[in-house]
Structure 1
Amino acid sequence: MMKHLYVDPRKEEAPTRDRKAHSTSLPKAKETKLHPTSPGGETASLFFVGTATTILEWEGIRVMTDPNFLHAGEHVHLGPGVSAERITNPAVDLHDLPRIDVVLLSHYHGDHFDQKVEESLRRDLPIVTTPHAKSCLQSKGEDSFSEVHALDFFQSLMLDIETGSIRAGRKPGIKVTGMPGQHVKPGLLSAANNLLKAVPPTNGWMIELGYRSASDSESFENAYRIYVSGDTLMVDELKEIHERYKDQSIDLMLIHLGGTTIPSLAVPLLMVTMDAKQGVELIQLIEPEVTIPIHYDDYDLFASPLSDFKKAVEEAGLSSKVVYLDRKDEYKFKV
């Protein structure tokens, strides 16, 4: 039986401990992008905050991915002897966010869940994440997060949205499924990482926006499907995503790029996120209707700039299927 998480977006609470939202909406987007070939009828939006932080809005609910709200010049710890400096600012400050209903956290790493976020988020904010991250978030004694839900690869959870309205016997719902991801490719380095636990396990996500019967909590009909790659390399495990969804459309892919290199660009021993070449390979494997690159230039460990990805996309003849967002831009789409 599928796990369920009940969410009531009618409760206007800030995601931070003070619980008093400073705004009821996100800031006005710097630029709004639409479907590159068939715009019209938009009913949902994705707001790009920076790094891997996005905010999805649909049917009155807000889902935030990988909250990272440090500013330029601040540092995060990424493992033994590894730190990174942020070189950009987020599109909105953490304490200026409106209500957030659920957080999807791909893994427990400072550039996805920074120290200020960890200090500031209210402890009962629902977080969907990996089993490893759940153990970390709930190991803080009285200061632990209380609403953490773990999903392993291909496990699913239904966000039951309590809007108070039922249309034609149906209610909106969001199905979240954990997708495979690997920060380190199999081999000696992976074995060493398993021993040292330097780089944490990571998930991607399949987010399905749709409707369920008001009388049957297990029913669900997808209307729009979003794949979020998470911090992964192009590994064989991703082929299973193609196999499972090859007869189902993937409308949008958010792809984590940057070619993150540790311990530093000066000593590039290990790449732990996709570079431009791997990013194009993932588009060709998943075949989404639209791809939006994120996680590409916010920290000083990113070795593969967005310009490399744009060039690779053009050379592959995929430009009509990619939309580029800067921080504070939004993508509106039809569900």
Structure 2
Amino acid sequence: MTGVRVTHIGGPTALIEIDGLRLLTDPTFDPPGRRYAFGWGTSSRKTAGPAFPAAELPPVDAVLLTHDHHGDNLDDAGRALLPGVRTVLTTPAGARRLGGNAHGLAPWDTWKLSSPDGTTVEVTATPARHGPPLSRPVVGEVTGFALSWPGQSHGVLWISGDTVLFDGVREVGRRLTVGTALLHLGGVGFPITGPLRYTMTAAGAVEVCRLLRPRTVVPVHYEGWSHFREARTAAERTLSEAPAEVRDVFRWLPRGTATELSV
């Protein structure tokens, strides 16, 4: 069985090591304190930095970038490291903006990544919607990613990206067997848009677990910014009321520590 290690560095940023292949999700390495504008009158202040700086990363083979146009998913320090990796996979719109080594994947497009030692991972872009219905023209394109490789025991490793529960996520459940899910939580909201949420809440995550039945759920992107409306403690209260078969699959990783996962 292929060995997999996941290091949650902070926010949406995780280092995924699959044998000899190192993949980095949504690189965010700026220090805390700055406020970032997201457009349409929305903004957020970064309240926590990464577990370690970008300079301490091992060599990275590819970046899986769910979207490039929000500072909590790609900040200045994260953007600076993109040219140093062989491949950046992102949305078609993001690839046009980034150029260079960036490749855009529409939903259900695939791309093969390989390391010198022969490790090969197939990446499939999965649907994501960063907010309520009809919000895409405002919030822009986002994507998730499903990772598959020979020797997986329980199904694909799915990275949800910044999404709410919608038909595209249900389609993931119909088309793929998900063994491990890196779920972007946090219930993002802004004063200007009131009760609307732009990422998944814990209640949404419970429903996703019922639909996809993953063996392991690793929450990411739920703290460290002022626009999150549901931090870990609030999410855990919701999860404590879920059935055991849902509640027990959640695994909160310590930041900055490589954790072995059975995938």
TM-score (norm 2): 0.91
Cα offsets for 1:38-57 (capped at 9, x unmatched): xxx88220000000000011
Q: Which residue of 1 aligns with 2:141?
A: 201
Say which SS state the counterpart of residue 116 (structure 1) adopts: helix
Q: 1:326 to 1:123 in 2, by over 3 A?
A: closer
Q: Which residue of 2 aligns with 1:90?
A: 50
Q: 1:55 to 1:310 in 2, by over 3 A?
A: same
Say which SS state the counterpart of residue 261 (structure 1) adopts: coil
Partner Cα separation in structure 2 for residue 82 and residue 273 of structure 1: 15
CA contact (8 A) 1:42 1:333 kept: no
Are positions 1:62 and 2:9 aligned together?
A: no
1:66 Cα offset (Å): 0.3
CA contact (8 A) 1:52 1:65 kept: yes
The number of residues matched between the two structures is 259
Paired amino acid for 1:174? V
Sequence identity (%): 27
Q: Which residue of 1 aligns with 2:206?
A: 280
Q: Which residue of 1 aligns with 2:3?
A: 43
Cα offsets for 1:180-204 (capped at 9, x unmatched): 11012224xx3xx52xxx4121101
CA contact (8 A) 2:51 2:255 kept: yes
Are positions 1:259 and 2:187 aligned together?
A: yes
Of 155, 158, 169, the match for 1:238: 169
Q: 1:116 to 1:43 in 2, by over 3 A?
A: closer
Are positions 1:151 and 2:105 aligned together?
A: yes
Q: Which residue of 2 aligns with 1:178?
A: 125
Q: After the TM superposition, which segments of 4 or more aligned residues of structure 1 sit over 4 Å from their partners?
A: none
What pairs with 1:249-328 in structure 2 (closer than 5 Å)?
250-262=178-190, 264=191, 268=194, 270-317=196-243, 318-328=246-256
1:272 Cα offset (Å): 0.7
1:120 Cα offset (Å): 4.6
Cα offsets for 1:65-98 (capped at 9, x unmatched): 0001122212322123322111112011012222
Paired amino acid for 2:87? P
Paired amino acid for 1:127? V
Query: Quick check: 292-301 or 201-210, which moved more?
Result: 201-210
| Residue ranges of structure 2 left out of the alignment (5+ in a row) | none
Partner Cα separation in structure 2 for residue 66 and residue 132 of structure 1: 16
Partner Cα separation in structure 2 for residue 239 and residue 77 of structure 1: 31
Q: 1:101 to 1:42 in 2, by over 3 A?
A: closer
Cα offsets for 1:246-268 (capped at 9, x unmatched): xx4x2210100001112x4x863
Say which SS state the counterpart of residue 321 (structure 1) adopts: coil
Say which SS state the counterpart of residue 248 (structure 2) adopts: helix
1:288 Cα offset (Å): 0.3
Q: 1:125 to 1:80 in 2, by over 3 A?
A: farther
Cα offsets for 1:143-168 (capped at 9, x unmatched): xxx111111111111112221xxxxx
Say which SS state the counterpart of residue 156 (structure 2) adopts: strand
Partner Cα separation in structure 2 for residue 122 and residue 42 of structure 1: 28
Partner Cα separation in structure 2 for residue 94 and residue 80 of structure 1: 30
Q: Which residue of 2 aligns with 1:115?
A: 76
1:136 Cα offset (Å): 1.1
CA contact (8 A) 1:45 1:330 kept: yes
Cα offsets for 1:272-325 (capped at 9, x unmatched): 101121111111111100101110011000001112221222211223211112
Partner Cα separation in structure 2 for residue 117 and residue 130 of structure 1: 17
Q: How much is the aligned-residue C-alpha RMSD, in angstroms?
A: 2.0
Partner Cα separation in structure 2 for residue 298 and residue 310 of structure 1: 17
What pairs with 1:185-196 in structure 2 (closer than 5 Å)?
185-187=132-134, 190=135, 194=137
CA contact (8 A) 1:181 1:238 kept: yes
